[in-house]
């Protein structure tokens, strides 16, 4: 589970331009929100795809080579059909780094401390940071024939000035999320039940907010993913349209 500090990340971290999308036949938007989905363990990937299709919503997927609930990895060939289908539906895609590590701090030698999922740390220079972000792009193109959009999201929202600069220099802008857009699907369901998270989101989300959820979370007992259905419906009732996040170098 990511640290709850994600709740405090400012909207200013969303540095990419935003490209709007509206479904034909729907009333004019009173506001626009941006649903983003990080890979996670992919347990609810298909169910979420069905919800998006049901509501004619385009989302932005941030992809990393993470272990899935099926025992494989999210960017293995076994997931090619899933990603190809999402590409055909017109969603947007960004890098979530390759190994889903955390950029912890800038070091005196000009490198960045990068903590991997097993707790080990590496020191990455600018070229290595670029490679870490770009590898997911290259792999996604191998699987689908489509490169990622020139955007990325650091796992847990952990960035440093040097990491942001290195990624920007190789063509990727960082996209964070709004405080109200943190949907809480990585929080303990015992203390943050789905209905509470849903009510909070419907009450607090505002025009321009970037929403964050995952395609599956290991630690949550009662998955939040089914709540995306009433959340999207409720936000549409409030007059919001949904857009994808897009960026340019």
pLDDT category at 21 given cuts 50, 70, 90 is very low
pLDDT category at 213 given cuts 50, 70, 90 is very high
- Choice among 22-31, 99-108, 186-195 with the minimum mean pLDDT: 22-31
Which residue in the block uniquely carries the two structure tokens 């964070």? 176
At residue 28, the pLDDT reads 78
From residue 41, alpha-carbon distances to 91, 98, 188, 201, 244 in Å are 19, 14, 16, 23, 22
pLDDT category at 119 given cuts 50, 70, 90 is very high
**Angle formed by the axes of helices 194-204 and 228-237, nearest 10°:** 20
Q: Which letter, b or e, does each residue of 24-39 get, where b requires 16 or more Cβ atoms within 10 Å of its Cβ?
A: eeeeebeebbbbbbbb
pLDDT category at 23 given cuts 50, 70, 90 is very low
């Amino acid at each position: 589970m990511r640290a709850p500090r994600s709740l405090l990340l400012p909207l200013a971290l969303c540095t990419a331009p935003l490209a709007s999308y509206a479904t034909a036949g729907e009333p004019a938007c009173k506001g626009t929100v941006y649903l983003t989905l990080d890979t996670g363990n992919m347990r609810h990937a298909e169910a979420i795809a069905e919800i998006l299709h049901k509501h004619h919503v385009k989302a932005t997927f941030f992809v990393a080579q993470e272990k899935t609930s099926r025992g494989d990895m999210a960017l293995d060939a076994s997931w090619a059909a899933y990603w190809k289908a999402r590409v055909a539906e017109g969603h947007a895609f960004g890098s979530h780094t390759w190994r889903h590590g955390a950029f912890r701090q800038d070091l005196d030698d000009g490198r960045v401390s990068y903590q991997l999922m097993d707790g080990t740390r590496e020191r990455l220079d600018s070229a290595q940071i670029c490679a870490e972000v770009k590898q997911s792009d290259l792999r996604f193109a191998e699987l689908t024939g489509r490169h990622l959009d020139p955007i990325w999201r650091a796992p847990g929202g952990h960035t440093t000035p040097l990491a942001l600069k290195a990624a920007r220099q190789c063509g990727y802008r960082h996209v964070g999320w709004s405080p109200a857009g943190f949907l809480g699907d990585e929080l303990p369901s015992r203390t943050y039940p789905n209905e509470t998270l849903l009510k909070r989101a419907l009450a607090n989300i505002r025009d321009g907010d970037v929403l964050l959820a995952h395609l599956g979370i290991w630690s949550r007992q009662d998955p939040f993913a089914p709540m995306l259905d009433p959340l999207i419906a409720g936000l549409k009732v409030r007059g919001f349209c949904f857009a994808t996040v897009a960026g340019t170098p």
